[in-house]
């Protein structure tokens, strides 16, 4: 199970890959939607941690156009419900995440990304 909430926190950790290593590009994604419990307090607290532009572009790559380009000034329930869906209910079951800098491919299989590095990539 990997969702956009963790994708938004994840940069490439290969050796020497320290710039332009976020966000990882999502490739060949197969998605599943699974309902999650709506927790507005959690979302409000989490918003400052989000790299918004990265979240919007990742969601659009997955075919979800619902997020606004900027975080609105007035955070209402409607906005939080939309954010909840994008962050916590869209699961990438198959596919890959690719580093935009070094090109390392992190394959996703049965919902689990393989983050293991090759020997020469370990810092």
Partner 1 sequence: MSRPELIAPPEIYYGDTEAKKYTNNTRIQQIQAEMTYRALELLNLPPDEPAFLLDIGCGSGLSGEILDEEGYLWAGVDIAPSMLEVALEREVEGDLFLHDIGQGFGFRPGSFDGAISISVLQWLLNAETSHPTSSPPHRLNRFFTTLHAALRNPARAVLQFYPTSDDQVQLITQIAQRAGFGGGVVVDYPNSKKARKVFLVLYVGDGGAAQVPR
Query: CB of residue 60 vs partner 1: minimum separation in angstroms?
Result: 20
Does 10 bind partner 1 (CB under 8 A)? Our answer is yes
Residue 24: DSSP 8-state? P
Q: Report the residue from 32, 53, 105, 115 that binds partner 1 according to the rule CB under 8 A.
A: 115
Burial class (CB in 10 A: 0-12, 13-18, 19+), 76: exposed
Short-list 122, 96, 102, CA closest to 19: 102
Residue 111 β-bridge partners: none
Query: CB of residue 38 vs partner 1: minimum separation in angstroms?
Result: 12
SS3 assignment for 90-111: EEEEEEEEECCCCCCEEEEECC
Does 117 bind Zn ion (CB under 5 A)? Our answer is no
- Determine contact, residues 43/81, Cβ cutoff 8 Å: no
Binders in 93-112 for partner 1, by CB under 8 A? 110-112
- The residues binding partner 1 (CB under 8 A) are 1-3, 5-6, 9-13, 21-22, 36, 39, 41-42, 45-46, 49, 51, 88, 110-117, 119, 122-123
- The residues binding Zn ion (CB under 5 A) are 12, 14, 17, 21, 99, 101-102, 104
């Amino acid at each position: 199970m990997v969702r956009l909430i963790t994708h938004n926190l994840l940069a490439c950790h290969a050796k020497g890959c320290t710039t332009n290593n976020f966000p990882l590009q999502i490739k060949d994604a197969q998605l599943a939607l699974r309902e999650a419990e709506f927790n507005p307090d959690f979302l409000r607290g989490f918003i400052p941690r989000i790299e918004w532009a990265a979240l919007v572009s990742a969601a659009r790559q997955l075919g979800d156009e619902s997020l606004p380009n900027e975080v609105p000034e007035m955070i209402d329930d409607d906005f939080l419900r939309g954010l909840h869906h994008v962050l916590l209910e869209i699961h990438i079951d198959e596919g890959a995440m690719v580093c935009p800098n070094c090109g390392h491919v992190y394959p996703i299989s049965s919902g689990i990304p393989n983050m293991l590095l090759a020997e020469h990539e370990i810092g």
